[in-house]
Structure 1
Amino acid sequence: MEEIIIEENLKLIPYYPNQEIALKWYQDSDVCKQVDNIDTLYTRDRLDTMYNYLSTNGECYYVQFNKTLVGDVSLYNGNELAIVISKEYQNQHIGRKCIQEMIQQAKERGLKELIANIYSFNQQSRKMFESIGFKQVDEELYMYKL
């Protein structure tokens, strides 16, 4: 995997162990609820387990905005997308641009569709994915036809 430049100030950096930075994103109860529907903060072990799974079962990238790591995005299990943007960087279209780039990557790989699991209460993510063209196909499942 190589670095992907989306814009001058927005890049996807291939995953490497960097829990000192990444753990900070998962120390926000709202982010943990949005991502995993849990009411507890991530531990280092939980973070390691998640990144190990994502990087072993697909491609995992850090999101770098203005030279600062602000989240992560993954394409795993063949066609499933997941994204986390640190709370202070949400609502700046960073996530939208990253998902659009991952769609482009999936097209280049010849995938036919992408899916995203989004909790029913996560209106912010639902709105973002729908604005890109994902369609709700089940209560918490969204699909994008390539």
Structure 2
Amino acid sequence: MPIQGIEQKEFLPIDDNLRLRRYDGVHAFSFAWHQDPELVWLIDGDKELYTQDLLDRMYAFLAANGECYIIEVFESGQFVPIGDVTLFTDDFAIAIGDKRYWKAGIGFKVLNRMIERARELEFAEILVEEIYDWNQGSRRLFEKCGFEAVKKTAKGWSYRKVLCKQER
């Protein structure tokens, strides 16, 4: 139960070829992604590649503090991991690690599904601590999904999306 009082779902389906699977402690597939200097620069703002220990600590933090899901696409008859996404009560993180899926609309679908999940959990808003100025793709994605830049940070901007309560 990474978010206090909330049971995390095992799967969040998006469409027939895309789903989010609850993180289960296995992340060996993601080590190669975190050896890519471009990805590390976009998500961390530095060029220090991940060690196995750092990757283990990152996933332990994500799973302990938010709803962490593995982004999976249906490929060759099975779902395969291509990234991860985590919804926190006070932050949000998404990374498409497999570059073959960059600029394919997957981030848009995943972000919209996580907005829906936040509404299910009755969040008043979704916050993003920081998106770096040089990560123009992420900035465009969040803005396209209705997030607003609300505070300048040292290297970028914090974003927020206010969620309206659904009519009952």
With normalisation by structure 1, the TM-score equals 0.95
Q: CA RMSD in A?
A: 1.0
Which residue does the alignment assign to 1:53? 61
SS at structure 1 position matched to 2:32:
helix
**Which residue among 120, 132, 138 is the counterpart of 2:145?**
132
Q: Does 1:88 align with 2:100?
A: yes
| Unaligned stretches of 5+ residues in structure 2 | 1-8, 164-168
How many angstroms does 1:40 deviate by? Answer: 1.7
Q: Percent of aligned pairs with the same residue?
A: 37
- Structure index of larger Rg: 2
With normalisation by structure 2, the TM-score equals 0.83
Q: Deviations over 1:47-91 (max 9, x none)?
A: 111110110011100000122200000012x14211000222110
| Unaligned stretches of 5+ residues in structure 1 | none
Which residue does the alignment assign to 1:141? 158
Bigger helix share? 1
Which residue does the alignment assign to 2:5? none
**Which residue among 136, 146, 161 is the counterpart of 1:123?**
136
Which residue does the alignment assign to 1:17? 25
Which residue does the alignment assign to 2:43? 35
- Matches of 1:11 and 1:79, distance apart in 2: 23
Which residue does the alignment assign to 1:107? 119
SS at structure 2 position matched to 1:26:
helix
